[in-house]
């Protein structure tokens, strides 16, 4: 059982969508394509190996903690009790890319400026 209390069945992964990402001084939205179909997410749980045409079980080349790009429209939102994260079930074949290198994720609450630190422009 994974740390979120859900294990995906078959050829699926559980992904937490990244809503905002920080690069230098810029905060970017998690949508990573012009039409908004593809988004970034972090894999929280990986499903079972799948058989190929010869019946040989093939382990997915995905691991918990990988940051991936996937098709948002083919992801199924799931709600887990007592988990506030935005979780989605995504088939292996909908994972388009695995990002390498560190990323810095920014929580939504960090995007709201602190009123005490804002100086009036009037």
**Domain CATH code at residue 100:** 2.30.33.40
Question: What domain range is 78 assigned to?
Answer: 12-117
Tell me the pLDDT band of 61, cut-offs 50, 70 and 90: confident
Quote the number of domains for the chain. 1
* Position 3 in a domain: no
Q: Tell me the pLDDT tens digit for each residue of 68-111.
A: 889 888 898 988 777 667 889 999 888 988 888 766 666 655 55
* Position 7 in a domain: no
* Position 38 in a domain: yes
* Position 2 in a domain: no
Tell me the pLDDT band of 1, cut-offs 50, 70 and 90: very low
Residue of higher predicted confidence among 102 and 117:
102
pLDDT at 18 exceeding the cut of 70: yes
Q: What is the 3-state secondary structure (H, E, C) of 13-78?
A: EEEEECCEEEECCEEEECECCCCCCEEEEEEEEECCCEECCCCCEECCCCCCCCEEEEEHHHCEEE
* Position 4 in a domain: no
The pTM of the full predicted model, rounded to 2 decimals, is 0.71
Q: Tell me the pLDDT tens digit for each residue of 43-58.
A: 999 998 888 889 898 8
* Position 110 in a domain: yes
* Position 89 in a domain: yes
* Position 23 in a domain: yes
């Amino acid at each position: 059982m994974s740390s979120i209390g859900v294990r995906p069945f078959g050829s699926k992964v559980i992904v937490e969508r990244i809503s905002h990402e920080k690069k230098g001084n810029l905060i970017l939205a998690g949508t990573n394509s012009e039409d908004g179909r593809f988004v970034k997410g972090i894999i929280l749980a990986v499903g079972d190996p799948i058989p190929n045409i010869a019946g040989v079980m093939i382990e997915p080349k995905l691991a918990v903690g990988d940051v991936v790009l996937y098709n948002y429209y083919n992801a199924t939102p799931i709600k887990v009790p007592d988990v506030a994260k935005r979780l989605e079930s995504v088939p292996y074949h909908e994972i388009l890319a695995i990002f390498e290198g560190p990323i810095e994720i920014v929580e939504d609450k960090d995007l709201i400026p602190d009123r005490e630190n804002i100086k009036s422009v009037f």
